[in-house]
Structure 1
């Protein structure tokens, strides 16, 4: 690794090279804006995640309360508020411009796509700073077209934002330690601290714990403590605290335990939690959502320790076929030559430590390892830049042959694999899509093979890229057909019927997107789920809205118009058994929308 006095390509670049940075970033911004923005609002919101993460900021914008997140009107403290804030502000800005509340599929998904774009640009910048311009381009391409990274840019989750902000922190660190003391190094380390703060405000303490773990391990294992000086720890700590502390303090003060304590203590908080009483924000957030989530199966997301290994392999598709070659190339000479490849070892540690950390957790979801993909993209991009320049390489050809085989298998599966029973009714709609996807994949495999037979590996790589662009775009368009949980069709029916005085219920379930599409909270019958804490925290406010079936049946008979969203299976028995009137006014494969009497004109 270069010494601290060695300048990066940025700091020593002449005017022409600095100009190429600007041109590259502009071209990438335009290309990735199209890539991540195209068809962004083409699908209804998916339940439960997209409904949840749209409704919380919708309620923030509607109430003006940016401290206490609420879901369907009840306190919801599972995650910090950064993404909620960004979306709520977007709704508040777009609303007056469009004459609406600003909430739609495109605005709701905007920040996931925006951070995906930022992650692509960041990966380019880091790849170029570490290994040169060609690596930067390839790294951005690889990151933006990994199937899991691309998928996360299309859905409303927190994982894209936390992944990009953590990656930003780690990229800033490894590029920063290469810089001599001065303004550039100072700004890079400030970016390190700011990105950790933003990650913390997105998904909690892992936002700074994991970047610090990776950086500390690298410094320790490779004895790079001298490269750390100066790292501006005092200013950095102040910046990190200034960004993260205010919300945490306000949330704690405004949401004490049932007995008025900001911090009830671990044991007493646990007693309150088990008794169904409010232990307060501080206990719930730090103990339940951090400590208990990591160490227990309370959240019901247990998976075996090896769970993330196939996730990593599949998530890197299609570029995973070059992963092994990339590691060998970047770590040439192995441990004996580690001093020549310190940046690559940092990237490898980044991937290994984050995967290992989440593998140890008792709560696992596929998206948790999102922070590793930018690091993997730089390693793979470094290898592909060299292979592209040399137009050859056994490893490159082997990877392309593997890709051709994989997509051919996928093409066959797209054509002949039977649909699950619950999607059998979609067969006529899916037939042209299956034919198109199968043709794209088979054509891509054939194009790669023909290029390899002719010895044009560049053509094979281009064929790989075109195949994946068409495959991902078509998969994005067809994905909505498989979601039977959307209540958007009901919202269209209710738009001309539902009055402010009418009651709206969801029975034995909670359709997360219904409050979004109807722009109002709903009453929930015989269901709590993840709303349990919020229901218990404010019983005086929630008792009338979260009710049992018996109370619902009584209300259904009362004067006034009431609508209910009920699961298709069993709704007739529910009303018939009690002798209640109902009329079905809309239906989806999963739900029916019923009304108790003729609606208001």
Structure 2
């Protein structure tokens, strides 16, 4: 029996092409496990994260309450920041699963998983085997699996794929659109019609997700690639752009027509003027950064795979241009991924307003580039000299060591937190710093062992398993800890508000603006930045709303004193960390103990 098992194992290692079912089932299983760990595991177990996530979640909830699926609203005001597709998907989730964190985040999680699947199938379809028999026959499966896992196992997509905002949906729509284009391009007329139509349709969904950038970026990337490949005229004829643009317009335009007809100039100025044109041409909301900002974002956001990008780009050998143009279209996936990566990077580097999430759409291209490199090292004959890969491997070793030091010293450099006064002590007491730094050191040692022992074919597997372990041991517990410290107090206060509130009683928040209060209380919240504004607002409530006997207020402990209330003027209903929930009685507000010109 043991002899038979050894023979079968030897046959599998030398001739894996004879076991196709085992090959594809193993690849699919690895990708599925990565998707579950990254995007579905404990997805709804933490509260919504202020400041941005509750804005999306509450706007979607309002659609289910008001029945207005055209104009998004938050806290009684139109929210023109983003188009409606992500709101629609969240709202459908609420109707199907209930109004909760799981439903709010599910569109992002499913978007990330869909992008993994499309990338997996694309590489499996278009990466040729290194040789027809032996380990080289696994090249398509190896590259496809690595690319899909690299999309999941990096900080950028891990964060945005678990957050209920529009960024991951845009990345999936745009990424799937570009991959659909490559399917049409590489098929050379065989099945290209449907693929090109999918390119235009998915581009329309991208515009419904985040506006004109969903059209501008794919067209920019595809146009630059076709010019370099010398295929612009031929491919334009194949794509039948008039038909494709009609499909694109049919998907993207109707909602914009309806929302502009409903809201007029205010929508046009807010969305197209402020949230698109001005963000590209000037600094908005103080989000400025130096020209090299996105080099750092990609290095950290795509870690640990980012250190392989220079080698992956060098491997393509896109120069001289003539030799690269002579490649069959189906073998130009790496070059297309390079133009995709560079197009997103250059476009947002040119934009004046800069945010880390802006370059999320280049992550799939980066994953394809790195997967082609590492799969070739593992299963084929590397084109690059060994020095390139050696440097990359040692850099990955260094990244994990630096991460180990950073985690171990978090309590010493994290600084003050506006919500949690003693956050450094809380983190230290959790023990996560010791566990996380220990795991990071162990991963670094494993990488060093593979390099020193010259078993570099194992490197891809080491990276995949290491990141999975780090997710389970460090990342997910950290999400839980930060939620308990920063978001759970507000959620508890919102629950108390729902239990204590009486009819006609308003809720105000003084000294902070946390949108999650509006979502969890499911009522409008008046946000006032200073205690002096709170005093003024309360006076107006007393004068203009005599039917209301009291007001609920959530105030941090310092600003509660500055509000100038006497003990008999309010009752303290709940206390959570720095926050105080109080009921202020209108008939007792004859005066405040602080003067109106007090400094807040």
Q: Deviations over 1:444-495 (max 9, x none)?
A: 1122222333332244443332222232342233135446653212123223
Structure ranking higher on relative contact order (CA contacts 8 Å, 6+ apart): 1
Q: Deviations over 1:332-354 (max 9, x none)?
A: 65545322364322221211121
Query: 1:502-581 counterparts in 2 under 5 A?
Result: 502-525=505-528, 549-555=535-541, 559-576=548-565, 581=569
* Residues 1:322 and 2:308 aligned together: yes
* Residues 1:78 and 2:75 aligned together: no
Measure, in 1, the Cα distance between the counterparts of 2:293 and 2:514. 29
Equivalent in the alignment of 2:461: 462
Q: Deviations over 1:105-158 (max 9, x none)?
A: 211111111101011111112222332332111111111112211121122221
Measure, in 2, the Cα distance between the counterparts of 1:448 and 1:362. 39
Does structure 1 retain, via aligned residues, the 8 Å contact 2:34–2:153?
Answer: no
Equivalent in the alignment of 2:367: 377
Equivalent in the alignment of 1:119: 115
**Count of residues in correspondence between the two structures:** 535
Equivalent in the alignment of 1:176: 184
Equivalent in the alignment of 2:406: 413
Equivalent in the alignment of 1:303: 289
Query: 1:374-453 counterparts in 2 under 5 A?
Result: 374-390=364-380, 393-417=386-410, 418=412, 419-422=414-417, 425-426=422-423, 427-431=425-429, 432-453=431-452
| Match 1:32 to one of 32, 35, 43 | 35
Equivalent in the alignment of 2:269: 283
Equivalent in the alignment of 2:571: 583
Q: TM (normalized to structure 2)?
A: 0.82
Does structure 1 retain, via aligned residues, the 8 Å contact 2:299–2:307?
Answer: no
In the superposition, relative to structure 1, how do residues 227 and 471 fare at CA in structure 2: closer, same or farther (>3 Å)? same
Q: What is the Cα deviation at residue 255 of structure 1?
A: 1.1
In the superposition, relative to structure 1, how do residues 228 and 29 fare at CA in structure 2: closer, same or farther (>3 Å)? farther
Measure, in 1, the Cα distance between the counterparts of 2:93 and 2:503. 25
| Match 1:69 to one of 69, 72, 76 | 72
Query: 1:112-191 counterparts in 2 under 5 A?
Result: 112-131=108-127, 132-182=140-190, 184-191=191-198
Q: What is the Cα deviation at residue 523 of structure 1?
A: 2.6
Q: What is the Cα deviation at residue 399 of structure 1?
A: 2.3
Does structure 1 retain, via aligned residues, the 8 Å contact 2:72–2:80?
Answer: yes
Measure, in 2, the Cα distance between the counterparts of 1:22 and 1:455. 29
Does structure 1 retain, via aligned residues, the 8 Å contact 2:379–2:457?
Answer: no
In the superposition, relative to structure 1, how do residues 34 and 438 fare at CA in structure 2: closer, same or farther (>3 Å)? closer
Equivalent in the alignment of 2:593: none
| Match 2:298 to one of 296, 312, 327 | 312
SS in 1 for 2:323: helix
Measure, in 1, the Cα distance between the counterparts of 2:143 and 2:459. 19
| Match 1:203 to one of 206, 210, 228 | 210
Q: What is the Cα deviation at residue 313 of structure 1?
A: 1.5
Q: What is the Cα deviation at residue 402 of structure 1?
A: 1.9
Equivalent in the alignment of 1:218: 225
Q: Deviations over 1:155-183 (max 9, x none)?
A: 2221111111111111111221121324x
Equivalent in the alignment of 2:9: none
In the superposition, relative to structure 1, how do residues 66 and 20 fare at CA in structure 2: closer, same or farther (>3 Å)? farther
Measure, in 2, the Cα distance between the counterparts of 1:471 and 1:568. 37
In the superposition, relative to structure 1, how do residues 20 and 403 fare at CA in structure 2: closer, same or farther (>3 Å)? closer
Q: Deviations over 1:200-221 (max 9, x none)?
A: 0010001011100111111223
SS in 2 for 1:301: coil
Q: Deviations over 1:485-511 (max 9, x none)?
A: 532121232232223432211224332
SS in 1 for 2:303: coil
Measure, in 2, the Cα distance between the counterparts of 1:18 and 1:238. 42
Structure 1: segments with no counterpart, 5+ residues? 1-13, 95-101, 257-278, 528-546
* Residues 1:238 and 2:246 aligned together: yes
Q: What is the Cα deviation at residue 441 of structure 1?
A: 0.7
Does structure 2 retain, via aligned residues, the 8 Å contact 1:43–1:477?
Answer: no
Q: What is the Cα deviation at residue 243 of structure 1?
A: 0.9
Structure 2: segments with no counterpart, 5+ residues? 1-16, 128-139, 587-600
* Residues 1:489 and 2:492 aligned together: yes
Q: TM (normalized to structure 1)?
A: 0.82
Measure, in 1, the Cα distance between the counterparts of 2:160 and 2:476. 11
Which deviates more from structure 2 when the two are superposed, residues 142-151 or residues 563-572? Answer: 563-572
Measure, in 2, the Cα distance between the counterparts of 1:385 and 1:284. 47
SS in 2 for 1:593: strand
Q: Deviations over 1:313-362 (max 9, x none)?
A: 21110011211111111226554532236432222121112111111112
Measure, in 2, the Cα distance between the counterparts of 1:54 and 1:365. 21
Measure, in 2, the Cα distance between the counterparts of 1:236 and 1:83. 23
Does structure 1 retain, via aligned residues, the 8 Å contact 2:71–2:259?
Answer: yes
Does structure 2 retain, via aligned residues, the 8 Å contact 1:568–1:590?
Answer: yes
Q: Deviations over 1:387-433 (max 9, x none)?
A: 11159844434322222222122212322341423366232454311
Does structure 2 retain, via aligned residues, the 8 Å contact 1:293–1:299?
Answer: no
- C-alpha RMSD of the superposition: 2.8
